[in-house]
Each structure stands twice: as C-alpha cells, then as structure tokens.
Amino acid sequence: MAVVSESRVAIAGLGAVGKVIATELDKGIPGLVLTAVSAKNKEKAAEFVGQLERAVPVVSLEELADHADVIVECAPSELLPQIAAPVLAAGKKLVVLSVGALLAHPELRQTAIDNGGSILVPTGALIGLDAVVAAAEGTIHSVRMTTRKPLRGLAGAPFLVENGIDVGTITCPTKIFSGTAREAAKGFPANLNVSVALSLAGVGPDHTMLEVWADPTVTRNTHHIEVDADTASFNMTIENIPSENPKTGLITARSAIALLRKLGAPVKIGT
C-alpha cells in the first residue's frame, strides 16, 4: 500500500477565522497537518496553540514558508504582501482571504508565475463562484452585486471615514456606496473581499458593479448577485451569520477549510 504524505499547513493570523481553521486542522483533515502559526500577539497565540492536541510553533510571518507547504492568510489586508512574497517566492501555495489586497499588489501574481507558487482564493462568504467561473468561459454581459450589512459590520470602513458617514446615526436602510469592485476594495478592505472574489471569477474588478447598504433591519451580512451571460442568467442571495468579528461571516472560515480539504481529496466536487 502506498504511503500518502501529509502537506504541512501554516496559518497567518489567529483572529476569528484563523482560530477556527487551526482547530479544525488540529482535529484532523486527511492529508494535512498544522505545523505553525503566526500572530500579532505572540503570547495569546502561544496560549491558544498550547490548548491544541498537537502544539505548533508561533513564528514570524516571514518564517511561515519555512514551516509549511500551504499557508493560509487570515490577517489584516495590509499584511498580505509581507505574508505572500516569501511564500510565493518559495513556490508554495497561499490561500488568500484578504482578496481585495491582491488588486493593490499585482506583482504577487508574477511572483507566483516566476517561482511555481499558487494563489488560492476560497469562495468565502459568497455563493455560486463556480457558476460564475463556468460562465466566464463564454461571455458574461454583466455582474451586479448588492450587499446589505448590519451597522456594526461597516463601522470604521475607510470609505465611511473619508466621506464623513456615521453609520451609528442611520435608522433605516441606506445606500452608502455605488461603484466598482475595485473601488469597493479600497473603501471597504475588511468588509467586501467577496466582491473582489466575484470580480476575479467573472468580468474583472472594473466591470463588476456593486451597491452597499447600511441596514439596521438586518442581522446577517447579505449579498445578492445578478449575472447575465451568453450561457445562463442567474441570481443568488446568501445571508451570512456574523462571526465574533461582525465584519466576517461564520461561513468564511468554513469555506477555507473546505478548500483545504479539497486539496488532497480523491474526489473533488464543483468547478
């Protein structure tokens, strides 16, 4: 019987998403083993990994590539280049959750190409990316997305700060942004990575149109997508239950786990 080797996985960032992924890996995913983590607060990170069945080292972001074959980025978007560059230069796999930051750093794609590395983007808090990817093999005429979020899920976004919008004063559903996915990534870097993932799957960040509504009547992060293509027209809605971080849905971590599980699966479902 052939011996199947395990792929080593490291996690950059131990917030609401990173901890869930680390815990699931510690429980056991066939073909994968958690080998390192990195976090801003090393003491808290050491306390967390000390509770795992298999303790792993807490290392710097730059050292992650030395400890793993697959690195999962769960960190603030501004740290993506620092995490990604050594991983891709080493020809390894990088799972990116801060997808919006990829638009600001196109050089990372070239680094992956030059060194045989891979950038993997989970579906995240979205729905139907496989259908969009399939439609993009033909011609997509338009992609529109409308996002509705509870007020606390939008607080502090750069777009709101720059435009003097205080979501705390909003008492009814209010459209606060209309534009492209590229513009949304700049204005809402912690909130709308889903729009960038959608754009990369389909017609690109400059042709994927987006509306953002601050909605005190909803308790879930809601995304509605409309796609018109030469092969199909479809619309989809997902309502995500927020995690302990109101900007991020619980399904985001599960999406990354599903992607990791699929890496070594003998049967892979979905495009």
Closest to 227 in 3D by CA, of 211, 203, 200, 206:
203
In the three-class reduction of DSSP (H, G, I as helix; E, B as strand; rest coil), residue 118 is classed as strand
- The sign of the CA dihedral 259, 262, 264, 268 is negative
Which residues are identified as catalytic? 223
Take residue 65 and report the two structure tokens written for it.
């590539």
12 Cα distance to chain centroid: 13
Q: Which of 51, 45, 49 is nearest to 13 (CA)?
A: 45
104-108: long-range pairs with CB below 8 Å, 24+: 104/185, 104/186, 105/80, 105/81, 108/80, 108/81, 108/84
The Cα 13–Cα 39 span in angstroms is 5
Three-state DSSP at 248 gives coil
Which residue, 218, 219, 216, 195, is CA-closest to 207? 195
